[in-house]
């Protein structure tokens, strides 16, 4: 483990707007049928601001550039594997929402096997324009310590 990589290390803040077309593409890929994910009028009739992002949307279409996380946490993507990820939905995400947040390294561990691995748990909090939590994502990265 690098001396600079420590629990509490944070990536630069990100900011972005949720795009309607990305929500629709994601809902189509999941085979969803509820019109609130596709049709603005249906979403508004149901009481939402715009097309509603399905649960899990925020992770595949993260607003944070991937390179920021790899650079900040010094992850060698040639020796890393994606581990499990989970999310907690605090509020609805709709097209047009402007979200911001930051990723923080919350846990560092080790896993022994044929090749020893470092286990990094990164938590990313997505906040709305009023700084209220919308989604919290936890993802685990496994990085081989020895270089093949």
Give the three-class secondary structure for 98. strand
The mean of the pLDDT values for the chain is 90
CA–CA separation, 104 vs 12, rounded Å? Answer: 9
Question: Could you tell me what percentage of the chain is helix, strand and coil, using 3-state DSSP and rounding each to the nearest 5?
Answer: 20, 35, 45
CA–CA separation, 31 vs 18, rounded Å? Answer: 20
CA–CA separation, 65 vs 61, rounded Å? Answer: 10
Assigned CATH class of 14-18+63-144: alpha beta
- Reported as a single tens digit per residue, the pLDDT across 24-68 is 999 999 999 999 999 999 999 999 999 999 988 987 556 777 788
Task: Report whether 146 contacts 115 (CB < 8 A).
Answer: yes
Domain boundaries, the chain: 14-18+63-144
């Amino acid at each position: 483990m690098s001396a600079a990589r420590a629990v509490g290390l944070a990536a630069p803040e990100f900011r972005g707007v949720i795009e309607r077309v990305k929500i629709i593409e994601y809902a189509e890929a999941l085979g969803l049928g509820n019109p609130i994910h596709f049709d603005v009028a249906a979403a508004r009739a149901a009481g939402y601001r715009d097309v509603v992002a399905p649960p899990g949307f925020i992770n595949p279409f993260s607003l944070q550039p991937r390179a920021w996380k790899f650079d900040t946490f010094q992850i060698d993507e040639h020796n890393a594997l994606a581990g499990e990820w989970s999310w907690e939905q605090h509020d609805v995400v709709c097209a047009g929402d402007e979200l911001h947040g930051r990723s923080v390294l919350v846990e560092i561990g080790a896993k022994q096997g044929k090749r020893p691995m470092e286990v990094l748990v990164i938590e990313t909090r997505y906040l709305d324009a009023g700084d209220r939590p919308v989604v919290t994502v936890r993802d685990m990265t496994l990085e081989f310590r020895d270089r093949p």
